[in-house]
Structure 1
Amino acid sequence: MSVVWLPIEDLNSEPKRARVEIRPTLSFSDEDKIETIQPHDNALVVTLKIGGHDVKRVMVDKGSGAKIMYPDLYRGLNLKPEDLITYDSPLISFDGKVVIPRGQIRLPMQASSEVVEVDFIVVDAYSPYTAIVARPWLHALGVISSTLHLKVKYPSEDQIEEHVGSQSMAR
């Protein structure tokens, strides 16, 4: 048997209660697939607010650490070379070619009520997507993504927010 010594003021005080934090559970079910054509092998492509603008064709890639911005978005946001900071590391594109980035830019990216600053690497390369968001963004928001369900879900205050991917944009 062990003895625990408590200061006298602790003996006279009310017992402390543990803080219980109830968080909604992030999960996917068959109901999340209802508006998708199954079976499919489409990428998870969503619309997000980047730099204050609604941006379509943003691919969610949980296998990558790089956040990429392609020329269509760069021009669409009216960005200039002087807006970029230097980014010296070459990248390998999907087709295996070495791509030298134009630079890097930090922009706010909003998903519903949550805003996260994202450092995009700007590249001059063709892509059917306007941007790729990756693990750092997913982790910053606590996002769980599902390519099967074509959705991302994340906690926001005491509820679950979600973004539904677009099969038509992915194709």
Structure 2
Amino acid sequence: MLAEKSQPEQKRARRNFHLTLSFSKEDKIETTQPHDDALVITLRIGDYDVRRVMVDNGSAAEVMYPDLYKGLGLKPEDLTPYSSPFLSFDGKLVIPRGMIRLPIQTSREVVEVKFIVVDTYSPYTAIVGRP
């Protein structure tokens, strides 16, 4: 299962807030530094804990793939138009299905993020950029 329903929380989404993701010295114990491994996390999106979300330093957009789109029970009418194509990892042109704004949470803070929904394969359920 890609997404697990979490307990409801009484938090409101904040706009224009940048999350900080950092690691302590203890987090780096038994790791090889420097490294270029992908950072793959579990991220709360809406009311679900979503696995296999890649954090991409170079990404200018948040992207949602078909498995997550279906797993969250989203429908085409939930999307707003978004027609700017972009290149996938394999260099192919991708035409987005649309865009959707959803709350995400990595700690106590909840922020709304605009995900571009695409219909192409990825080993990840979503990609989030990092400012």
TM-score bracket, normalised by the shorter chain, equals: 0.7 to 0.9
When Rg is computed on C-alpha atoms for both structures, the one with the higher figure is 1
Cα deviation, residue 30, structure 1: 4.2
Aligned to 1:74, the other structure's residue is in SS state: helix
When normalised by structure 2's length, the TM-score is 0.77
Give the structure 2 partner of residue 45 of structure 1.
40
**Structure 2 unaligned regions, length at least 5:** 1-20
Match of 1:120 among 109, 112, 115: 115
Runs of 4+ in 1 over 4 A off after TM superposition: 26-30
Tell me which amino acid in the other structure corresponds to 1:70.
Y
Q: Specify whether residues 28 and 130 from structure 1 end up closer, same or farther in structure 2 by C-alpha distance, changes over 3 A only.
A: closer
One-letter amino acid of the structure 1 residue matched with residue 67 of structure 2: D
Aligned length: 110
Letter in 2 for 1:111: T
Deviations 1:85-137 (A, max 9, x none): 000100110111000000000000011111010000000010000000013xx
The offset of 1:63, in angstroms, is 1.0
1:44-80 CA deviation, whole Å, 9 max, x = no partner? 0000100110000000011111100000100000000
- Name the counterpart of 1:102: 97
Tell me the equivalent position of 1:86.
Answer: 81
> 1:76 and 2:71 equivalent?
yes
- The CA RMSD measured in Å over matched residues stands at 1.9
Q: CA deviation at 1:42?
A: 2.0
Q: How does 1:9-28 map to 2 (within 5 A)?
A: 28=23
Bigger relative contact order, structure 1 or 2 (CA pairs below 8 A, ≥6 apart) = 2
2:56 is aligned to 61
Percent pairwise identity = 74
Residue 111 of structure 1: aligned partner: 106
